[in-house]
Structure 1
Amino acid sequence: MKKFFKYSTAFILFVVFAIYLAGVFYFKSYFLPNTKINERDMSFTQIAELYENYNSLHDDFELKIVGRDVKESLKLSDFEYRDTLERGQTVKQNPTLWIFSLFAKKEYNLDHKITYDNQKFLDTINKLDFFKGETVEPENAKIVFNGRRFIIEKEVLGNKINKKLFEEKVLDYINEGRKTLNLEDEEIYYSPIVFSDDTYLNNKVSQMNKLNSFEITYDFEDRKEVIKNEELLSLYRENDEGLLVPDRDRVKEYVRTLAGKYDTYMGTRDFYATGLGPIKVEGGIYGWWTDIEKTTDQLVKALENTESVTLIPIYRLTANSRTLNDLGNSYIEVDLGRQHLWLYKEGELVLETDFVSGNPNRENGTPLGTEKIWSKETKRYLTGEDYKSFVDYWLPINWKGVGLHDASWRNEFGGDLYLTNGSHGCINIESSAMKNIYDNAFVGMGVVVYDSSLPQESEVVEMGVVESP
């Protein structure tokens, strides 16, 4: 048994040594395994034919290009690509070390010259299917509203290629002798930045759907404004902790828009004038005037509570009705053109009378607009720069000292008296009629002052928000 083991070991060693010697002999003429010259694999090629083998490496070289649903190939002959070693160079290798080269790379850099027709190269690139047809731009995953809830819309990978990078990679692969270029692996496609599995995006959509579970309604009696879904979410911002919180600036801007739509203070109204029909009346202190700051605070609080609620704006000034016709059915109508007044209460005509208004020829014309009675007073003096008059009934209708009052010093009312013997701006009324007006009027009652002798405009001007008196 010992002899057998002894002879077997000797035989194996002989075989190994014979193989080693054969390798030494072989690699005197051939390059060692794992030999690369200028990134080209020259293993097991004849040393004597270095130039011929190296220079012919690209004769039949074809680069395969793999992309999204597209496969292409590129022939080097299409743009006359050549890689030529310069003569007079050698590579020295020790054939006795061939067995070690099986496990270690040998890389050499020799002088060489790469040439190709650049224009033909670009033309060849442009003819590839990757650059034909429709280009689909990459799109980030995003949050969208599907009519019921917010969801994450998956990113679009698209097919847009970074052409400059593609050209560089093609040349790199050819220079290195690599035969398959995968556009995905080399990240040559333009890519979305945000994907549907993004943690931030998923946290945000979760918050948004929580906020989407409630709505806020503003009640204007015959009209409503409902804030919900995307409009409601637009009133929030993201804080430093990534939480959605009410954005006061956005809320304030919404309140301004709401006020611009529904406020009537200092605005222009459609009015149905007695005996005339539809007219427009501009200006005046009567109407709804939203307190922007307080209403903003109110809405911010509602957004913080995240519960469905119906709100009424907080007003600086109010009118008698929150409907589109904010005058209601009780008001006083004053026509300077006809010098005539009508008082309606609960839709019924209570009285009508002539009057004398301010003299426009002395720059004392009675102001036009929808005003309101803001006080009721009896037995007081009205004073000015050149007058002091006692009246039994006084109903101021604007903030410039104009009002309705009796005028015991007058014997005639109506007609054209105001053009020659008009007041300082107030509306002078016969005493008994004024008592009747005083008894039927109330603080806050609208007083519509217009002049039927003036031409009417054809369109109604929208009523807008006013910030200060």
Structure 2
Amino acid sequence: MTREAKQRKHRGSHRWLIAVVTCLIALGVGSLGYASYYHQRFKPTQINGVTVTNLTVAQATKKLNQSTGSQSSKAITVAKSRVKVSQASVAKLLTKRNGEAGHMVDTVSMKLTTQVSASAQQYRLTTLLPAFEKQIDTINAIRKTPIDAKVVLKNGQLSVTQGQSGTALDKATMVADFKQQAKTEAVISVNKVTKQAVKADSKTISQVKANLQKLLTQTVTLNVSGTNITFKASDYLKNGTATADGKYQFDTTLLKQKVAALATKYDTKGKSAKFKTHSGSTITVPAGGTWGWSIAQTKLVKYILYGFEHPSSQTLNLKHFVTGTGYGKTNTVGDTYIEVNLKTLHEYAYVNGKLVFSTPVMSGTITGGNKTPQGLYYIMYKQRNTTLTGQNDNGSTYNSKVKYWMPITNSGVGLHDSSWQPSYVYGNTSYRADYHSHGCINNPPSKMGKLYSVSYAGEPVVVYY
């Protein structure tokens, strides 16, 4: 090789080296420039759904705080739910984002939570939540609602109906997500969740069917004054449904009919009753009066049904399902009562089966507008020193002052002292036509205090002729 050729080769190698060095320097400068640029700015990034690519912390913070809500195909971002975020919190995301390797081109989604004040939470839950729920309802109005499979009880036989798929949003799930985000999120953005129908061959429906089968074998025992009556679910529940969430709906017609039959048999209120009088004879006291009890049928049906559904509640006592007075009493009224014999115009008071008071009285008429009503009653309340007001036969008003007053009817019939009556009329039926009351039982003033002292509000009063 000639000297000239060697020089040309040396000059070529030198130029190549210079080109390589220049390229490396350019790359280094570019890298340093890129690193310097993204030291203060976000690489391709979205924060809470807001794009902040190439923005500084200050710019990103401003954009986040000014961004309005929007609706995407996958989520509902609630307008006006955004609370201001601090530059410090955004700076932390910048450090995290730019510290990640790679992701030079791909956009990375990041989540920013913040401290939500109590007042902001209250605003979100009381103002924004109702609007959010309405928005879901509006969307669902044009979507198909899914129908879950369910277990059907028909004529005592079980079967399963097929469900139907749908496109409606799962409102309950989305509302729960909203409430959770309302506590911590800088902006509430709820993912759209489509409600899925429960299928007929699912484990859920299989378990619901098994539970209903078990329910039909349950029994409830009702204690009626020491006598037990057994209700078996399968005898009274012939038709109904069980939904995927385990809720039952039954046709309770047969159960209601059974309870109504018990009421007819056992109720005492408004019925005539056998009663052993002071003289020892047993009479039938006419129907009517305020004393007595009746089965609260709707309440009892409800609790029997509850007993079927909850095996731990299988024994009931009828005393908890009656209204009125006197449940469980012997001789209809028990051993403590007041007895008024209109035929003999005599009154008796018994306490624990013992006669403690007796006196002749005057009553109202046997018939007509001033008659004293027969039946089983009870003392509604007791009152001292009051004035009884009413209307006389001629239309005038009477105002009678009494020291003792014990009403037994809502119309104003009761037991009281009667200072205006001559002493000889008490117990004398021949004076009833001229000295009768307006329906009350007039007691001699000298006796009434004793009767008042041995009686109590709620005590039964038997009035018969």
User: If the length of structure 1 is used for normalisation, what is the TM-score?
Assistant: 0.48
Q: RCO (CA 8 Å, sep 6+): is it higher in 1 or 2?
A: 1
Structure number with larger C-alpha Rg: 1
User: If the length of structure 2 is used for normalisation, what is the TM-score?
Assistant: 0.49
